[in-house]
Amino acid sequence: MSGNGGGATERAVEAVWRIESARLIGGLVRLVRDVGLAEDLAQSAFVAAMERWPETGIPDNPGAWLMATAKHRGIDELRRRRSLGQKHDSVDDRASELLAESLDLESALDETVGDDVLRLMLIACHPVLSREARVALALRLLGGLTTDEIARAFFVSEATIAQRIVRAKRTLFEARVPFEVPRGAELSARLSSVLEAIYLIFNEGYAATRGDDWVRADLCEESLRLGRILAQLAPEEGEVHGLVALMELQSSRLPARVGPSGEPVLLLDQDRSRWDQLLVHRGLAALERAEALAHPLGPYALQAAIGACHARAPTAAETDWLRIVALYDALVELTGSPVIELNRAVAVSMAFGPAAGLEIVDQLVDEPLLRTYHLLPAVRGDLLSRVGRHAEAVKELERAASLAENTRERDLLLRRARACKSPPS
């Protein structure tokens, strides 16, 4: 492949990293048995690509190039560890064993022994880690998310997330966690964190927290792929099918979710003829499996049932908002989440009028977890506008825009604020 301009190549390398990093780290983990070292080797290969590709051009198979580069550096590191192990008894003797296992480079890393990405996620979600550490590490390794993006998902500081990730890697190494796909009860023990991590990755793709793109389809596709694999691995777990159903149904809207210029198109304004009917069909089928297995339904299956109400409505006007409110009632009771309660307020406003929804939202204004959550003032501004309190709506929508870090979403909120300044007579 011919060379490219430096800036274009750099952007291409970053795009390749987003796509390939999880597979790269997952494959390396099988060789070095150390999540931290595997990520370091992957990052080293990425740096090498940033240095070489502007001169040589992007290879035809960039993922394979990164893997080959990281493999060779991994072998060098294992040899270094073996050498140190011969001189210093305190060095981990496993280095010699690992090197012996990896002398045939291709068979060591390229043999088909299962899905490396899923294995990596299950390792990252090992019970030896706290719940918060499991999800943060999985998002970092599997989703390629930055510490800032993860921090926004958890509503905590970037420094806190960085510390969790460093400690999680150290804990996994010191505990010598086996690098294999668990089964039975051990798999069930990790499912909750795995499902949460998958869905948080999906959400970052469905509505990106920052940047110039409203949707990151690559993250949606990867998380959906992981969910489908997990459903095959744990076919009797209703919540796994519930999550798959939820992601299938939400993914079906992606073609209609972005306008011609990349601008966001909200649910009620979408052209439903552009929804992917194959994904709708798959989502409804997965929901049926979840409903057959789980009594009562878990949080993902309940959210999928809400998605099914939208999928079954030919038009926005025909949406069964009463059923959606009932499903949100059950979801709030199950989770106690203020974010879910905010979503419930929107459904209540559609079923019983904006004043009813506004009453719920006003009770959430002082909720600590929502103080910097841009969708709280966004929803409140919309409801204020719908009840005719336009001046207050403008302030809320402008505040929401100031909190939003996604350029497309910020622009949308500012357009809505301007529209409130000149409401229809």
SS3 73: helix
What pLDDT score does 85 carry?
Answer: 62
Residues facing residue 210 across a β-bridge: 405
Q: What are phi and psi of 20, to 5 degrees?
A: -100, -15
Q: Rounded mean pLDDT of 121-136?
A: 86
Count of Cβ atoms closer than 10 Å to residue 228 Cβ: 16
Query: Looking at the predicted structure, is the pLDDT value of residue 352 above 70?
Result: yes
Least Cα distance to 35 among 103, 94, 122, 131 occurs for 122
Q: Rounded mean pLDDT of 3-32?
A: 76
Q: What are phi and psi of 405, to 5 degrees?
A: -105, -5
| Lowest pLDDT segment from 91-95, 159-163, 379-383, 401-405 | 91-95
Residue type present at position 261: S
Separation of alpha carbons 213 and 262, rounded Å: 7
Note the Cα 32 to chain centre separation in Å: 26
pLDDT (tens digit per residue) in 132-169: 898 889 888 877 778 888 887 777 899 999 999 999 99
SS3 142: helix
Q: What are phi and psi of 3, to 5 degrees?
A: -70, 160
Residue 219 tokens read as 């993250």
What pLDDT score does 146 carry?
Answer: 81
Query: Looking at the predicted structure, is the pLDDT value of residue 265 above 90?
Result: yes
What pLDDT score does 103 carry?
Answer: 41
Query: Looking at the predicted structure, is the pLDDT value of residue 183 above 80?
Result: no
The CATH class given to the 336-425 domain equals mainly alpha
Give this prediction's pTM.
0.78
pLDDT (tens digit per residue) in 44-78: 998 999 888 888 888 888 888 998 899 888 888 77
Separation of alpha carbons 236 and 233, rounded Å: 9
Query: Looking at the predicted structure, is the pLDDT value of residue 13 above 90?
Result: no
Report the percentage of the chain scoring pLDDT > 90: 52
What pLDDT score does 291 carry?
Answer: 97
pLDDT (tens digit per residue) in 226-251: 899 889 878 999 999 999 999 999 99
Work out the widest C-alpha separation in the chain, in whole angstroms: 84
Mean pLDDT for all residues in the chain:
86
Q: Is 225 exposed, middle or buried (0-12, 13-18, 19+ CB in 10 A)?
A: middle
Decide which of 2 and 373 is more confident.
373
Query: Looking at the predicted structure, is the pLDDT value of residue 308 above 70?
Result: yes
Residue 54 tokens read as 């502007």
Query: Looking at the predicted structure, is the pLDDT value of residue 276 above 80?
Result: yes
Domain boundaries, the chain: 1-112, 336-425
Separation of alpha carbons 166 and 421, rounded Å: 48
Decide which of 390 and 33 is more confident.
390
What pLDDT score does 251 carry?
Answer: 98
Q: Rounded mean pLDDT of 359-384?
A: 96
Query: Looking at the predicted structure, is the pLDDT value of residue 196 above 70?
Result: yes
Secondary structure letter of residue 33 according to DSSP: S
Residue type present at position 82: R
What pLDDT score does 6 carry?
Answer: 57
Name 79's Cβ contacts closer than 8 Å, sequence gap at least 6.
99
Q: Rounded mean pLDDT of 27-42?
A: 86
